[in-house]
Amino acid sequence: MSRRVHFMNWSRTTALSVAAIVCLTMAGDACAELIPTPNFSDHDIPSTRVVEAPSVVWNAVDVGVLLVALSLASYFALVVRSRKYLLWLSVASLLWFGFWRRGCVCPIGATQNVTLATFDGTYVVPISVVAFFVLPLIFTVFFGRTFCASVCPLGAVQELVSVRNVRVPRWLDQALSVIPYVYLGLAVTLAATGTAFVICRYDPFVGFFRLSGNASMMIYGGSLLVVGFFVGRPYCRYLCPYGALLRLTSRVSQWHLRIPPTACIQCRLCEDACPYGAIEEPTESPSVEQLQRERKRLVVLLFMTPFIVGLFAWAATGWRGTLAGWHFDIRLAEALKQEDLGLATEPNTATEAFRGSRRSPEQLYEAAATHRDRFAIAASLLGAYIGLVLWGKVILLTLRRGRQEYTPNKSHCVSCGRCFQHCPVELVRIGLIDNVEQMTHETHEVAT
């Protein structure tokens, strides 16, 4: 017993003092040579065992599935014109891209990888990720946002919970729909500078797809879903940065979804059918005086554009500090400086580890200064971009688009197909009613 106690004391003292000496006198690699691995008479030193990563074949499979889903979605929306098929396809996409592939890779996040790869030649972006970014855009150029309709798992989960249709007032809808462009600009800025992938960090639904996530993530996603019960697709309409790209692309789409299969009879039955407020009524032909007035206004607005953009670029120089605060090296340099000045209040693992590393503070300060310079440019560019987006929105709001029939707004429509069943011409096509009067007549009766 006494021997044991003695051994304990001895070993504790030695172990701790050896440790202390090692730490004080030796660094890094020297430690590894401290105690040689013994050669045993009848025991082989085993090797570390690691588990293989899932096969990269899955990436190719994902691209294949994406291609098939995009084709099916476009076919269902434009040719079959079936809301039911679109819905089933979105369930399938939700299961595959959402729950089975756990929300990664997705085109929304791929935007950042593609951006970073563009600006940083050392960053490797897998071909599958480039495909995920480009394919939906190419489909949208031809068929409208069929990707949003039933391929995107984030869209699908919101589509499924969109049960009540509360119309967002037009002014609010227009104002909020600027956010995705701003978000896109911010995400691109932070990705291009190698700072952060904010789109992924603030992905609302990926926590549900993985069935795990931190509390704030779950609350954020949960509240978006609850809002989504009443206001259709809040993330797609007011946040999704990839949606902003798709909106621009869809504007020029060649064969976009139409509400009636043939000519519109202007029965107004579809007017309130869209939970996303994407259906626009026909316009009256303007008088020549009106046209001339509007043309003058457009010229003035266009003339003002460079000044607005310049103003925003100038105003945005103030953001560079905030943007730079996201960058690791800049944060570390600041913490280090604080500590050197004796202003730091609590211990910081990062600075402690930095002081133990081979990098000198001067190197870090230099790197931080380079990053800061880049952020000064990035902030101005971001400001100019936001100015352009806001002013572009103003110009678009003043533009007159001639419409002879009820049409989905190409950039806001997600091709979900909810409006089909509201169109009597469509109902005749699929044989639910014999002629359009059957439906328009009934409504008139109800109305009177």
Instruction: Scan residues 186-245 and list those touching another protein (CB under 8 A).
Output: 196-197, 200-201, 206-207, 210, 212-214, 217
Dihedral sign (CA 397, 403, 405, 409): negative
Closest alpha carbon to 64 in 135, 161, 125: 135
Is there binding between residue 59 and another protein (CB under 8 A)?
yes
Q: Are 415 and 149 in contact (CB under 8 A)?
A: yes
Cα separation, 134 vs 118, whole angstroms: 14
Phi, psi at 279, each rounded to 5°: -90, 130
Is there binding between residue 349 and another protein (CB under 8 A)?
yes
Cα separation, 413 vs 402, whole angstroms: 18
Q: For another protein, which is the closer residue by CB, 270 or 332? A: 332
Is there binding between residue 121 and another protein (CB under 8 A)?
yes
Cα separation, 135 vs 154, whole angstroms: 17
Q: Are 412 and 319 in contact (CB under 8 A)?
A: no
Minimum CB separation of residue 401 from another protein in Å reads: 9
Q: Which residue shows structure tokens 């202003």? A: 343
Among 282, 306, 325, 356, binds another protein (CB under 8 A): 356
Minimum CB separation of residue 215 from another protein in Å reads: 12
Which residues inside 144-183 make contact with another protein, applying CB under 8 A?
Answer: none
**Where are the extended beta strands (E) located within 286-418?**
407-408
Q: For another protein, which is the closer residue by CB, 207 or 275? A: 207
Among 124, 219, 263, 397, binds another protein (CB under 8 A): 124
Among 19, 166, 219, 432, binds another protein (CB under 8 A): 19
Q: For another protein, which is the closer residue by CB, 72 or 364? A: 364
Cα separation, 315 vs 317, whole angstroms: 6
The piece of 110-118, 168-176, 389-397, 419-427 that touches another protein (CB under 8 A) is 110-118
Q: For another protein, which is the closer residue by CB, 8 or 79? A: 8
Is there binding between residue 3 and another protein (CB under 8 A)?
no
Size of the site for another protein (CB under 8 A): 88
Is there binding between residue 430 and another protein (CB under 8 A)?
no
Collect all residues with Cβ–Cβ distance below 8 Å to 434 and sequence separation of at least 6.
Answer: 428
Among 91, 92, 137, 308, binds another protein (CB under 8 A): 137
Terminal alpha carbon distance of the chain: 102
E strand or H helix that includes residue 296: helix 288-315
Is there binding between residue 36 and another protein (CB under 8 A)?
yes
Which residues inside 371-400 make contact with another protein, applying CB under 8 A?
Answer: none
Q: For another protein, which is the closer residue by CB, 109 or 383? A: 109
DSSP secondary structure string for all residues of 76-121: IIIII--HHHHHHHHHHHIIIIIIISTT-S-HHHHHHHHHHHHH-T
Is there binding between residue 61 and another protein (CB under 8 A)?
no
Beta bridge partners of 407: 280
Q: For another protein, which is the closer residue by CB, 350 or 430? A: 350
Which residues inside 262-291 make contact with another protein, applying CB under 8 A?
Answer: 285, 287-288
Among 95, 252, 263, 396, binds another protein (CB under 8 A): 252
Among 104, 161, 315, 433, binds another protein (CB under 8 A): 104
Among 68, 95, 138, 432, binds another protein (CB under 8 A): 138
Q: Tell me the per-residue interface mask from 78 to 97 with another protein, x by CB under 8 A, - otherwise.
A: --------------------
Q: For another protein, which is the closer residue by CB, 207 or 260? A: 207
Minimum CB separation of residue 223 from another protein in Å reads: 19
Closest alpha carbon to 126 in 59, 54, 57, 196: 59
Q: Token pair of 402, please?
A: 């001639």
Among 1, 40, 342, 431, binds another protein (CB under 8 A): 40
Among 31, 95, 219, 263, binds another protein (CB under 8 A): 31
- Of the CA atoms within 13 Å of residue 112, those in its CB half-sphere come to 23
Q: Are 275 and 165 in contact (CB under 8 A)?
A: yes
